Amino acid sequence: MSVKDKLRIVITGATRGLGQALVLGMAELGHEIHGCGTSEANVEALQKKVPQGKFAVVDVTQEKSVASWARSVLGHGLPDLLINNAALINKPAPLWEISEKEFSLLIDVNIKGIANVIRSFVPSMIAAKKGIIVNLSSAWGRSVSGNFAPYCATKYAVEGLTKALAQELPKGMAAIPLNPGIINTDMLKTAFGDGASSYHSANTWAKSAVPFILGLNEANNGASLTVP
């Protein structure tokens, strides 16, 4: 892909943090953006910021919700770029203190959510043998930290899931697990507290992340990459 080409981009978790920063940066370049979030208020706020985009309330943990959204998006054409960004982090605590409910929610959003989106969008992309799939991983998908075992587990799963998917795609496509780096978001504040403020904001990060992601192509298939 070329940064100069007008692309149709689909992104989950579009209303906050890294997702919103990517939406704003990519929309500014004139790309066609289709995004989703779980909060109606946040979706409406993003729609006002990016009136040329198309945003919807979608629960990625619910296959029917994702499938309905996908049908609407695919009515506009196939995605050139599909970004699975929606994710949660657990409250810091030893693994044995994490409730079953909290653990399951991370699994449902961070892993099953990606699978639901892939199931709804990728068959059409495969039929056309085109499109790049980027699944947001983490440094904690390649290393670990105590008190964040559930989050680490899900991001390790994203790495494995994406690398396996990469082997299943036809020539002309790519699936890439992407570590965004360390960015000052609400999620990082959960992990680092006040220390999160020493890192770049999401909007600053997007200045390098947007062209990097838009430049990904078939040659990157299956590679574990990190935003520079």
CATH number of the domain enclosing 172: 3.40.50.720
Catalytic residues: 151
Question: How many separate domains does the chain show?
Answer: 1
In a domain, 19, yes or no: yes
| Residues 25-42: tens digit of each pLDDT | 999 999 999 999 999 999
Least confidently predicted of 85-89, 187-191, 214-218: 187-191
Classify residue 149: in a domain, yes or no.
yes
| pLDDT classification of 4: cutoffs 50, 70, 90 | low
Is 186 among the domain residues? Answer: yes
Residue 220 belongs to a domain: no
Residue 223 forms part of a structural domain: no
Residue at 2 is within a domain:
no
pLDDT, one tens digit per residue, over 126-165 is: 999 999 999 999 999 999 999 999 999 999 999 999 999 9
The secondary structure of the chain, three-state, reads: CCCCCCCEEEECCCCCHHHHHHHHHHHHCCCEEEEEECCHHHHHHHHHHCCCCEEEECCCCCHHHHHHHHHHHHCCCCCCEEEECCCCCCCCCCHHHCCHHHHHHHHHHHHHHHHHHHHHHHHHHHHHCCEEEEEECCHHHCCCCCCCHHHHHHHHHHHHHHHHHHHHCCCCEEEEEEECCCCECHHHHHHHHHHHHHCCEHHHHHHHHHHHHHCCCHHHCCCCEECC
Identify the domain containing residue 170 by its residue range. Answer: 8-211
